[in-house]
Amino acid sequence: MNRLIPITSREAISLEYRDTPIGNLLEYHNLNREYETYTQAQLLIGMCMDNRKHLHIPDNFAFIIRAGGANLRYSEFKVSYAIAVGGVRSIALIGHNQCGMVNLMARKDIFINGLVDNAGWDREWAEQHFTQFAPMFEIGNEIDFVLSEAQRLRLRYPKIQVAPLLYKVEDNLLYQVRES
């Protein structure tokens, strides 16, 4: 089963998202929808810090929190702020393929050596740092993670619409993630 829904037309957007800030995000980024003028943010976007990704969206359209793996578990106060003070009612959670937070454990030596060589850390601190934090930031699989993280956010913020999306680095397009 293909877990990604390509958005190649307005009609491909799920009805629940069409004509919402989530649907507008998909239209702006994938379909070159003409930019509207906004005076306040319409949604919160959670996406990975990865440098390969750039969104095509109008000014003022969105709050954006960038964190490894699109993992918002450690950004909760900022999510709450965007909702409570910023007034957004939607969250687009954008995972991406080839994410560095997948199988983080395999990069343990590179991480430790990099901190020692590039940042001037003591090797023991670097090892402790990795051991302490890698389990918090590791994600198993991009698609499974974005689905579980969307589910967690829905339970945490029950009146907020949360959409799990995926950014493919090969074509720079957004896809809806199919939910069972």
Q: Which residues bind Zn ion (CB under 5 A)?
A: 48, 50, 99
Q: Is the Cβ of residue 58 or residue 68 nearer to Zn ion in the bound state?
A: 68
Smallest gap from Cβ 52 to Zn ion, in A, equals: 9
Q: Which C-beta is closer to Zn ion: that of 99 or that of 165?
A: 99
- Both tokens of 139, joined, read 């994600």
Phi (first) and psi of residue 169, to 5 degrees: -75, -20
Residue 81 or 137 having the CB closest to Zn ion: 137
CB of 86 to Zn ion, least distance (A): 24
Least distance in Å: CB of 97 to Zn ion? Answer: 9
Decide if 95 contacts 143 (C-beta within 8 A): yes
- Within a 10 A sphere around the Cβ of 90, how many other Cβ atoms? 22
**Cβ at position 149, least distance to Zn ion in Å:** 13
- The CB-of-69 to Zn ion minimum distance in angstroms stands at 5
Cα angle value 97/35/39 (rounded, 5°): 105
> DSSP E strands: which ranges in the chain?
4-6, 43-47, 62-66, 90-96, 161-168, 173-177
For residue 106, which phi and psi values (nearest 5 degrees)?
-70, -15
Q: How far is the CB of 100 from Zn ion (least distance, A)?
A: 5
Which structure tokens are listed for 149? 């993280």
- Strand residue runs (E) in 55-154: 62-66, 90-96
In the complex with Zn ion, the residue whose CB is nearer, 50 or 127, is 50
Instruction: List the structure tokens of 31.
Output: 């379909």
Q: Which is nearer to Zn ion, 99 or 177 (CB)?
A: 99
Q: Which is nearer to Zn ion, 99 or 112 (CB)?
A: 99
Residue 14 tokens, joined: 């799920």
